C-alpha cells in the first residue's frame, strides 16, 4: 500500500493522492478512526463505492451458532460476532439531481490525509458531475478521545464553475448490506439484519434510532444533530423510519458561496439499561458535544494527542518509511485501547470484522506490554476487563474438569468462541500470558490497589489451573502434557517450552502476590501448603532440551519430527494453513509463528547467551511466518544474538504489515498486535529493553542504515527517555522527579532528575545470519529504508 504511487511517505501523516478503487477496502482499514469505544472505517462520506462498510461499538456483538458435524463434549455451541452497527458517517450529495459518486462524472482531485497529531481524517474532492457542474467537497472526521461517545464530521461544499442546486442528505442507517466472506477462516461471515428496531424519533435537526440484537439481547442507540452554516439560504427537513433517519438540506449555491454542515453523532449501548436510559445517554452526549463545539472537539483531540506523543513517540533517523510506519502503528494502537474502558481490545481493533472482532492472547502478550509503557491506564482497563470475565473462565475450567480459571482463546464477552479445540481450548498458555501481563503492569506502575483488587484473583485462579492441568512424573518433573503453544502448526504437544516456562512464572508470581496480600489470599482459600506446592511445581518444571543437536526442543520430541519439505512448497501455498491439512502440519517441523523464540524473549533469564544463539539459528530455518505476530519476535532475538540487519528487516516487516498488506487481509481490519510489534521490535529489539523479574535493562545497538533511535517509557511515575546512536546511549528523565535503577549492557546505572547519563555501546561480536525457508526471507532494507 505505502509503495502505491498514491501514498506518500510523510513523518506525521498517512496521505493518499488520488482515488484508487483497487485498494479501496484496504484504505478503509488504514484510514479508520477509533477511540477504543467507537470505531468507524474510512468509507467514503457518500457510502458508495465501498469495500466493507463498518461502524463498531466495542463489545457489541450478536450470537452465531457453531454447528458441528459431530457433537463434542466441552465444545462451545455458539460464538460471538462483532456487529456493524448503525452507520452515522453517511452524507450523500446531489448536485443538480446528479448523485456525487466517484465512479461517474470526472474526479479531478481526491486527497485523503490521516493526521497522526491532530487525530483527524480529512478528505478533499473536486468532482464534475455528468451534467458538467464542478464542486469541491471538504470533509473532516474525528472520533473523540475526550468525548468517548462522539463522532464528529465537518462537511463543506462549494460550487466552482456556476450556480448549483444542491441536496445534502445526512443519514443514520441500520442493517447495511455487507459483502459476503471469501472463505478465509480469518474473515468474519456477514450477519443478516442483526438489528431490530425499538424506537425512532426526529425533531428539527436531530434524529434518533434505537435497536436491539435478535439473539444476544443488547440494546444500542445512535443519535445525530447538525449545525448548518454558510452564506447561502437553505431549507432543512427531517424524517425517520425504523432503520433509517435523514436530515435533508436543500438550496442553491453560487460560486464563492459555501455550505457547511457539522454533524455530531452519539452512540451508546447496554445489556442492562432501558430504552429510555439509552435515549437519555446519547442525548446527554450530544448536548455536551454541542457545548464544546466543532473547534473545541478538534482542540481537545490535539491536546490529547500532544500528551500521548510526548511520552510515546519513537523517533529514528535513516529510514523515513519506517519512521512513518512506527507512528502509524502507535496511533492505531492508541485508537484500539485508549477509551475501551473495561472492554476487550480485539485483534483487529475496531477497524474491521476480521476474526469476528474477537480478542485473543495477542492482547496480553503483544499489545499490553506497549500500553503499560505508554498508556498504563488503558492497560489497566484491559486487564480489568479480563478480571470481569473471571466467572466465565472459572465455569469453563469446571466444564473441562479443571480447577481455577481457563480464560477463552477467543471471545468478545468472556465465553469461549473457538469451535476448534486443538488451536483454541488446548492453547492454555493464554492463562499465563494474562497473569504475566498483570505482574508486568504492577511492577511497571507500582499500583498496589490494582494488584490487590485485580491481580490476586487472576494469578491465584490461573495458578490453580496449571496445578490441575499438570502433574509430577515418576522422576519428579512437573509436566504439562497435551497443549498447544504459540505455534499453531504444532498442536497437542507435551511440555511446550513457552507454556511450561510461563506456567512456572505464573506459579511463582501467584505465591509472591499472596504473601503480599494475605487477607485477599485467605478470602480465596489460599493456604501456605498451596503456595509451597506452586513453588515446588515451578522448581521442577520440565524444559525439553535435545542434547544431540544442542538446542531446546519447542516441545517434547518436536526435534524428532520430520522437517517440512520447504523445497516442494510453492510460494502461492503460503500461508500453509489455507493449502494443507492441519494433520500434516502438526506432525512436521514447521513453525507458523515463533514459539521457542518467544520463550527466549519473555523468559530470557532461563537461557544462556549461547543457547539463545543456537536456538535462534535452528528455528529460523523452519519458521515460515504465516502469522502477523512472527516478525516482531524474530526481530527482538535477532538483535539480541547479534543479527542487527536481520532485526531491522523483521522490524520493517512488522511495521509495514498493513501499510503494504503483507498478509493480504488488511481489507478486513488492521493487525493491532503486529502494529504493537513495531514498538516491540524497535524498543525490545534494537533498544534491547528487558524486564526480567522487575529489573529494567537495556542493550541497545543500531544496524547499518539507522543513525539514531529514541524512545520513552513510563516507569512508576517517571518518564525515561532513551537516545541511541552508533556509539553511545543516553538515559534521561523527562517527567517526574526521583531516580530509576537500570542496567546498560550489564552495567548498573542510576538515572535521576539531576541530568542525563551517557554510556558507550560495546562492540558487537559478528555472527553469520541463519537462512530462512526458501521464499520466506524478509525483504532486506537498504540504506534510506527502501527494500532491496
Q: 119-126 long-range contacts, Cβ below 8 Å, gap at least 24? A: 119/33, 119/143, 119/145, 119/301, 119/302, 119/304, 119/305, 119/331, 120/33, 120/298, 120/301, 121/31, 121/33, 121/42, 123/44, 123/45, 126/160
Give CA–CA dist 724/467, Å, rounded: 44
Name the strand (E) or helix (H) holding 520. helix 518-523
Distance CA 605, CA 226 (A): 58
Please, which contacts does 377-382 make with residues 24 or more away whose CB atoms are closer than 8 Å? 378/36, 378/334, 378/337, 378/338, 378/340, 379/337, 379/437, 379/441, 380/441, 380/445, 380/447, 380/450, 380/454, 381/337, 381/340, 381/341, 381/342, 381/343, 382/337, 382/340, 382/344, 382/345
Spatial separation of the C-alpha atoms in residues 391 and 693, rounded to whole Å: 29
- Taking the alpha carbons at both ends of the chain, their separation in whole angstroms is 17
Contact between 740 and 695 (Cβ < 8 Å): no
Q: How many Å apart are CA 231 and CA 17, to the nearest integer?
A: 30
d(CA 715, CA 447) in angstroms, rounded, equals: 11
User: Are the CB atoms for 638 and 650 separated by under 8 Å?
Assistant: yes
Continuous segment of H or E residues that includes residue 503: helix 497-516
Asked whether 313 and 712 are in contact (CB, 8 A), the reply is yes
Helix (H) or strand (E) holding 217: none
**Is the Cβ–Cβ distance between 27 and 6 less than 8 Å?**
no
Taking the C-alpha atoms of 386, 391, 396 and 397 in order, what is their torsion angle to the nearest 10 degrees? 90
| Rounded (10°) angle between helices 320-337 and 672-680 | 130
Distance (Å, whole) CA 137 – CA 114 = 17
What is d(CA 636, CA 699) in angstroms, rounded to the nearest whole number? Answer: 11
Helix (H, G, I), strand (E, B) or coil at 244: strand
> DSSP readout, 460-484?
HHHHHHHHHH-EE-TTS-EE--SB-
- The one catalytic residue in 321, 364, 488, 620 is 488
Rg value, the chain, Cα = 27
What one-character DSSP code corresponds to residue 784? Answer: B
What's the CA gap between 228 and 643, in Å, rounded?
A: 59
Give the three-class secondary structure for 716.
coil
Taking alpha carbons only, the member of 140, 150, 160, 121 closest to residue 27 is 121
Give the whole-angstrom CA distance, residue 435 versus residue 505: 9
How far apart (Å, rounded) are the C-alpha atoms in residues 215 and 194? 8
> Buried b vs exposed e over 362-388: b needs ≥16 C-beta within 10 Å?
bbbbbbbbbbbbbbbebbbbbbebbbe
Q: Is the peptide bond before 512 cis (omega within 30 degrees of 0)?
A: no
The rounded distance, in Å, linking the Cα atoms of 671 and 784 is 26
Question: Does 620 participate in catalysis according to the annotation?
Answer: no
Burial (Cβ within 10 Å: 0-12, 13-18, ≥19) of residue 780 = middle
Taking the C-alpha atoms of residue 190 and residue 197, their distance in angstroms, rounded to an integer, is 19
Residue 420: other Cβ atoms inside 10 A: 16
Task: Just list the catalytic residues.
Answer: 488
Amino acid at each position: 500500500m505505502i509503495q502505491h504511487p498514491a501514498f506518500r511517505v510523510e513523518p506525521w501523516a498517512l496521505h493518499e493522492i488520488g482515488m484508487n478503487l483497487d485498494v479501496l477496502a484496504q484504505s478503509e482499514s488504514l484510514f479508520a478512526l477509533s477511540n477504543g469505544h467507537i470505531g468507524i472505517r474510512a468509507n467514503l462520506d457518500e457510502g458508495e463505492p465501498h469495500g466493507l462498510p463498518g461502524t463498531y461499538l466495542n463489545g457489541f456483538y450478536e450470537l452465531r451458532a457453531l454447528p458441528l458435524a459431530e457433537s463434542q463434549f466441552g465444545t462451545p455451541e455458539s460464538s460471538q460476532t462483532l456487529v456493524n452497527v448503525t452507520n452515522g458517517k453517511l452524507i450523500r450529495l446531489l448536485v443538480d439531481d446528479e448523485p456525487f459518486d466517484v465512479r461517474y462524472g470526472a474526479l479531478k482531485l481526491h486527497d485523503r490525509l490521516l493526521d497522526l497529531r491532530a487525530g483527524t481524517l480529512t478528505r478533499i474532492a473536486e468532482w464534475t458531475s455528468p451534467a458538467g457542474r464542478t464542486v469541491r467537497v471538504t470533509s473532516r472526521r474525528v472520533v473523540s478521545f475526550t468525548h468517548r461517545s462522539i463522532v464528529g464530521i465537518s462537511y463543506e461544499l462549494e460550487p466552482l464553475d456556476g450556480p448549483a442546486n444542491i441536496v445534502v442528505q445526512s443519514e443514520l442507517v441500520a442493517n447495511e448490506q455487507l459483502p459476503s466472506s471469501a472463505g478465509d477462516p480469518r474473515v468474519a461471515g456477514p450477519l443478516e439484519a442483526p438489528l431490530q428496531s425499538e424506537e425512532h424519533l426526529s425533531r428539527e435537526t436531530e434524529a434518533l434510532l434505537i435497536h436491539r440484537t435478535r439473539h444476544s439481547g443488547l440494546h444500542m442507540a445512535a443519535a445525530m444533530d447538525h449545525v448548518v452554516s454558510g452564506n447561502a439560504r437553505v431549507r432543512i427537513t427531517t424524517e425517520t423510519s425504523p432503520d433509517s433517519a435523514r436530515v435533508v438540506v436543500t438550496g442553491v449555491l453560487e460560486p464563492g458561496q459555501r455550505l457547511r454542515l457539522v454533524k455530531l453523532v452519539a452512540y451508546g449501548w447496554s445489556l442492562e439499561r432501558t430504552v429510555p436510559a439509552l435515549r437519555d445517554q446519547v442525548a446527554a452526549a450530544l448536548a455536551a458535544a454541542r457545548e464544546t463545539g466543532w473547534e473545541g472537539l478538534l482542540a481537545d483531540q490535539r491536546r490529547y494527542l500532544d500528551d500521548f506523543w510526548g511520552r510515546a513517540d519513537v523517533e529514528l533517523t535513516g529510514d523515513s518509511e519506517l519512521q512513518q510506519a512506527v507512528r502509524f502503528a502507535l496511533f492505531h494502537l492508541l485508537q484500539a485501547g485508549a477509551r475501551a474502558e473495561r472492554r476487550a481490545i480485539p485483534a483487529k481493533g475496531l477497524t474491521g470484522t476480521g476474526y469476528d472482532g474477537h480478542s485473543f492472547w495477542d492482547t496480553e502478550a503483544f499489545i499490553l506490554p506497549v500500553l503499560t509503557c505508554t498508556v498504563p491506564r488503558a492497560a489497566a482497563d484491559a486487564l480489568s476487563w479480563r478480571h470481569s470475565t473471571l466467572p466465565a473462565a472459572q465455569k469453563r475450567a469446571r466444564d473441562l474438569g479443571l480447577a481455577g480459571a481457563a480464560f477463552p482463546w477467543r471471545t468478545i464477552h468472556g465465553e469461549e468462541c473457538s469451535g476448534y479445540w486443538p488451536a483454541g481450548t488446548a492453547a492454555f498458555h493464554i492463562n499465563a500470558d494474562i497473569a504475566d501481563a498483570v505482574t508486568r503492569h504492577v511492577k511497571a506502575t507500582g499500583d498496589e490497589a490494582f494488584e490487590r483488587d485485580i491481580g490476586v484473583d487472576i494469578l491465584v485462579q490461573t495458578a490453580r489451573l496449571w496445578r490441575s492441568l499438570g502433574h509430577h512424573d515418576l522422576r519428579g518433573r512437573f509436566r504439562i502434557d497435551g497443549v498447544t503453544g504459540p505455534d499453531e502448526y504444532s498442536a497437542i504437544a507435551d511440555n511446550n517450552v513457552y507454556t511450561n516456562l510461563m506456567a512456572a512464572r505464573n506459579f511463582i508470581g501467584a505465591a509472591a502476590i499472596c504473601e503480599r496480600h494475605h487477607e485477599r489470599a485467605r478470602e480465596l482459600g489460599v493456604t501456605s501448603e498451596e503456595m509451597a506446592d506452586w513453588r515446588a511445581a515451578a522448581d521442577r518444571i520440565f524444559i525439553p532440551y535435545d542434547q544431540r543437536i544442542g538446542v531446546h526442543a519447542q516441545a517434547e520430541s518436536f526435534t524428532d519430527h520430520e522437517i517440512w519439505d520447504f523445497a516442494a512448497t510453492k510460494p502461492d501455498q503460503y500461508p500453509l494453513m489455507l493449502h494443507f491439512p492441519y494433520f500434516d502440519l502438526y506432525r512436521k517441523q514447521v513453525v507458523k509463528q515463533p514459539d521457542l523464540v518467544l520463550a527466549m524473549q519473555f523468559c530470557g533469564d532461563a537461557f544462556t547467551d549461547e543457547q539463545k544463539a543456537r536456538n535462534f539459528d535452528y528455528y529460523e530455518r523452519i519458521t515460515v511466518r504465516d502469522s502477523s505476530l512472527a516478525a516482531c519476535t524474530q526481530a527482538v532475538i535477532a538483535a539480541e544474538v547479534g543479527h542487527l540487519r536481520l532485526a531491522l528487516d523483521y522490524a520493517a516487516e512488522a511495521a509495514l504489515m498493513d501499510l503494504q498488506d503483507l498478509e493480504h487481509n488488511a481489507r478486513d481490519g488492521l493487525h493491532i498486535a503486529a502494529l504493537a510489534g513495531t514498538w516491540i521490535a524497535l524498543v525490545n529489539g534494537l533498544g534491547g529493553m528487558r524486564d526480567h523479574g522487575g529489573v529494567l535493562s537495556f542493550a541497545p545497538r543500531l544496524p547499518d542504515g539507522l543513525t539514531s533511535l529514541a524512545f520513552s517509557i513510563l516507569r512508576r511515575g517517571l518518564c525515561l527517555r532513551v537516545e541511541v546512536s552508533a556509539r553511545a546511549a543516553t538515559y534521561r528523565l523527562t517527567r517526574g522527579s526521583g531516580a530509576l535503577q537500570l542496567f546498560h549492557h550489564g552495567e548498573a546505572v542510576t538515572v535521576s532528575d539531576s541530568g542525563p547519563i551517557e554510556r558507550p555501546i560495546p562492540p558487537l561480536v559478528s555472527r553469520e545470519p541463519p537462512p530462512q525457508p526458501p521464499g520466506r526471507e524478509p525483504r532486506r532494507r537498504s540504506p534510506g529504508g527502501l527494500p532491496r
